[in-house]
């Protein structure tokens, strides 16, 4: 029975490892490969940590199981090893993990700066958000500047509006301004590995470069009330021409059916 318990503690990490190994094949893994430039960097860092962590996991769980095995196979009557520890070992297992952890931290800094530090945003997007994404319970309201003009902080008469669909150009860096009209929300696009909270009172610029034209799901990732789960929207990445064509169409529709006044009024 003693040996059973040692095997038990050896066995379950193997199950855990096995589940992780078969996970990608069973579609229990990332929803897709990263589809933004930053996404590649984030996934790269993830896999780097995954390797380090897996090695540590296997090593420590194996050692733990082995310690149990030693206890299970001890011949009766032999005493436990009377030891209060080892200074040398303590030094080793302090310094080695310390180096690994500092190494992991250092690898993160550049990517973090690229994602979040305004000064390092690509020049082409710094001053030119393509749209304002305004979260509210429980939808996303998108405001585009009138074609040919720039996005202003406050709504302008010619602005174009749409709900739960953001059209942005693919293959070029793009920036949106993220806001919330009421409580906190978070702008989460899993396939792009983008996430940013929308904070009442702040306008937060978010940039990304989508690599392929297509549709990407956009969800809310900060509890915003009972309808949190249903803030379902899409990002539609298209060629720059496609986006202009969409905006022109949107402008025409909006001017024809008079939606514009109503929408502007309610956003104010």
Partner 1 sequence: MATITPALETHGHEHEHAHGHHEQTFIQKYVFSTDHKVIGIQFLITTLLMLMVGGALALAVRWQLAFPWENMPIVGKLFGVFQGEGGQISPEFYTMLFTMHASVMIFLVIIPVLAGAFGNFLIPLQIGADDMAFPVLNMLSYWFMWPAIFCFGYSFIAGGATAGPANGWTSYPVLSDIASASPSSGEAQTWWLFGLTLVGVSSMMGSVNYMTTIINMRAPGMTLFRMPLTIWSMFITAILQAFALPVLTAAGFMLVFDRLHTLIPTSIHSVFFVPAGLVVNNAAPTVGGGQPLLWQHLFWFYSHPAVYIMLLPAMGMVSDMLACMCRKPVFGYKPMVYSMAAIAGLGFIVWGHHMFTSGMNPALGMTFMTSTMMIALPSAIKVFNWIGTIWDGDIQFNAVFLNCAAFVALFIVGGLSGIFMAAVPVDIYFHDTYFIVAHFHYVLFGATLFGVFAGVQFWFPKMFGRQMHDGVQKVHFVLTFIGMNGTFFPMHLLGIAGMPRRYADPYLHGYLEHLLPMNQFMTISAIIMGFAQFLLLGNFFYSMFYGKKVGRNPWGANGLEWSAPSPPGHGNFDVPPVCYRGPYEYSGPESEALGQDFILQTTAPPAGVKVASAHH
User: Residue numbers of the site for Cu ion (CB under 5 A)?
Assistant: 185, 220, 224, 228
How far apart are CB 185 and Cu ion at their closest, in Å? Answer: 5
Partner whose binding site includes residue 63, from partner 1, Cu ion, none (CB under 5 to 8 Å by kind): partner 1
How far apart are CB 87 and partner 1 at their closest, in Å? Answer: 9
Partner whose binding site includes residue 105, from partner 1, Cu ion, none (CB under 5 to 8 Å by kind): partner 1
How far apart are CB 25 and partner 1 at their closest, in Å? Answer: 12
Residue with tokens 């958000």: 129
Choice between 121 and 188, CB closer to Cu ion: 188
Radius of gyration for the chain, computed over Cα atoms and rounded to the nearest angstrom: 26
Choice between 103 and 252, CB closer to partner 1: 103
Q: Is 187 helix (H, G, I), strand (E, B) or coil?
A: strand
Question: Do 156 and 146 contact (CB within 8 A), yes or no?
Answer: yes
Choice between 98 and 245, CB closer to partner 1: 98
Nearest to 193 by CA among 180, 178, 208, 203: 208
DSSP 79: P
Residue with tokens 């095997």: 7
How far apart are CB 32 and partner 1 at their closest, in Å? Answer: 8
The total of other beta-carbon atoms located within 10 Å of residue 90's CB is: 10
Phi, psi of 136, rounded to the nearest 5 degrees: -155, 165
Q: Is 205 helix (H, G, I), strand (E, B) or coil?
A: strand
Partner whose binding site includes residue 137, from Cu ion, partner 1, none (CB under 5 to 8 Å by kind): partner 1
Choice between 113 and 163, CB closer to partner 1: 113
Partner whose binding site includes residue 112, from Cu ion, partner 1, none (CB under 5 to 8 Å by kind): partner 1
Choice between 185 and 193, CB closer to Cu ion: 185
CA 84/CA 219 separation, integer angstroms: 53
Partner whose binding site includes residue 163, from partner 1, Cu ion, none (CB under 5 to 8 Å by kind): none
How far apart are CB 158 and partner 1 at their closest, in Å? Answer: 22
CA 145/CA 158 separation, integer angstroms: 7
């Amino acid at each position: 029975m003693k040996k059973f318990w040692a095997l038990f503690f050896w066995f379950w990490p193997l199950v855990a490892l096995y589940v992780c190994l078969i996970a990608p094949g069973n579609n229990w893994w990332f929803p897709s490969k990263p589809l933004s430039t930053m996404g590649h960097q984030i996934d790269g860092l993830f896999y780097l940590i995954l390797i380090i962590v897996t090695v540590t996991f296997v090593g420590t769980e194996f050692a733990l199981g082995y310690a149990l095995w030693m206890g299970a196979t001890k011949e009766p009557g032999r005493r436990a090893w009377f030891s209060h520890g080892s200074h040398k070992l303590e030094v080793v297992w302090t310094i080695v993990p310390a180096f690994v952890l500092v190494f992991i931290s250092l690898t993160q800094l550049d990517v973090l700066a690229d994602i979040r530090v305004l000064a390092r945003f690509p020049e082409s997007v710094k001053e030119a958000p393509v749209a304002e994404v305004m979260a509210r319970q429980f939808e996303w309201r998108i405001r585009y500047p009138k074609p040919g003009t720039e996005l202003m902080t406050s709504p302008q008469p010619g602005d174009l509006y749409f709900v739960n669909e953001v059209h942005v150009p693919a293959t070029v860096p793009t920036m949106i301004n993220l806001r919330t009209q009421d409580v906190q929300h978070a702008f989460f696009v899993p396939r792009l590995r983008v996430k940013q909270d929308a904070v009442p009172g702040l306008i937060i610029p978010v940039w990304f470069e989508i690599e392929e034209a297509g549709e990407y799901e956009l969800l809310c990732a900060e509890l915003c009330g009972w309808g949190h789960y249903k803030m379902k929207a899409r990002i539609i990445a298209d060629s720059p021409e496609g986006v202009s064509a969409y905006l022109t169409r949107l402008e025409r529709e909006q001017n024809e059916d008079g939606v514009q006044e109503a929408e502007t009024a309610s956003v104010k």
